[in-house]
Amino acid sequence: MQTKNFNDIFRALKDLAPVLTSGNLLVVLSSCVWFAVQTHLGLPQESLSIGATVFQSGHLHRLLLFPLHHRSLPQLLLSAAALLFLCGGVEKGLGTVRFLFLLLLLGSTTGVFYSFLDLLQDASVHTEGLLPVVLACVALTTLHTKMTKGFLCGVSFPVVALPWVLLVICTALIPRSVLLCNVIAILVGWVYGKGWLSPVDMSESRAAVLEKLLPFRFLRSMSGVMFVPASSQERRRTLLPQINPTPGSYPVQAYAPLPSIATANATATMYEGWPQLASLTPPHTPYGHTAAHKVGHMAAHNVGHMAAHQMGHNHGQISAQSVGHNHGHFSDQSVGHGCDGNHSHNHGAKL
């Protein structure tokens, strides 16, 4: 009983866990490595933070590297969890290479605007971490989704309000989060979602070329981690499940109905899962017609004879000529080719 409960809990946690992608893994590992280097070497806590000092000291490299910088271990862990849970769908939609470029583009744009506004303030407040780029990715996702309602902890709200809800939650939980920088990040995500940053965006063809080089070629060869290709066709083949049905597994082959013109003396054979009646094979006739003409005579006999016999009993008056015209302009001579002369003569007299 305890083993069953443990398996159920493990299965539920596995379903809730996000799919580990190459781009998210690379960003998280880079943040962990830089945090270890900073802690071991005793570097200043504001070594890669953004603020007014970016323009005052000319440290423009901080605009690209500040998402990887974290001052404390709780900040690093919470920021990494937010990235894994909220940005996996963005990478699956764009591809790993374009997703990494998107993080650089959104982070640097947010850093430029925040550093400029912080320069105008009296008291400078530095910030860093992955939270701004995460909120920017969530903001651009809300512009491209077809959902109109979102649910969080049983509360329904419009999808457009999702970045602002996450803004309040993450700002309260993650330490060293600056509200102004997070608001700017959401606005930058909306600007990108509107397509106003498309001139500086990376194209799909360019990303397909870059993913064949290092280090992306190494990421693609890693097992256990999903590398999302840049090409849309390859991306669909990677994300969608591959279905390879075995021959004869379709229900229509197992339950195909027998033809209604089958006779009691007909013997059925199977061809590729479908029953084939021996009586449907046109007999050899001594008139020297071609195979296609034989099939036409046989079909004319079956259709004409059945229609004339049935409609003759129901209405009592139908000519052989009208039956032939209704089923392909067959003459009663062609009807007679498929049977003996007496049988055809008797039916002609009845008609």
Check whether 285 has a pLDDT greater than 50: no
- pLDDT tier for residue 213 given thresholds of 50, 70 and 90: confident
Per-residue pLDDT of 198-207, as tens digits, reads: 888 898 889 8
* Per-position b or e across 291-311, b if 16+ CB within 10 A of its CB: eeebebbbbbbbbbbebbeeb
Q: What is the pLDDT of residue 116?
A: 93
Q: What is the pLDDT of residue 108?
A: 95
Per-residue pLDDT of 246-266, as tens digits, reads: 665 555 545 555 555 544 454
Token look-up 């925040």 returns 114
Q: Average pLDDT in the 148-159 region?
A: 75
Q: What is the pLDDT of residue 130?
A: 94
Query: Which regions of the chain does DSSP assign to beta strands (E)?
Result: 149-152, 155-158, 268-271, 274-277
- pLDDT tier for residue 334 given thresholds of 50, 70 and 90: very low
Per-residue pLDDT of 88-130, as tens digits, reads: 889 988 989 999 999 999 999 999 999 999 988 888 899 999 9
Per-residue pLDDT of 232-249, as tens digits, reads: 777 777 776 555 656 655
For residues 138 and 108, the answer to whether their CB atoms sit within 8 Å is no
Encoded amino acid at 166, one letter: L
Q: Average pLDDT in the 306-320 region?
A: 43
Domain spanning 7-239: CATH superfamily: Rhomboid-like (1.20.1540.10)
User: Taking all residues of the chain, what is their mean pLDDT, rounded to a whole number?
Assistant: 74
Check whether 59 has a pLDDT greater than 60: yes
Q: Which residue has the higher pLDDT, 202 or 13?
A: 202
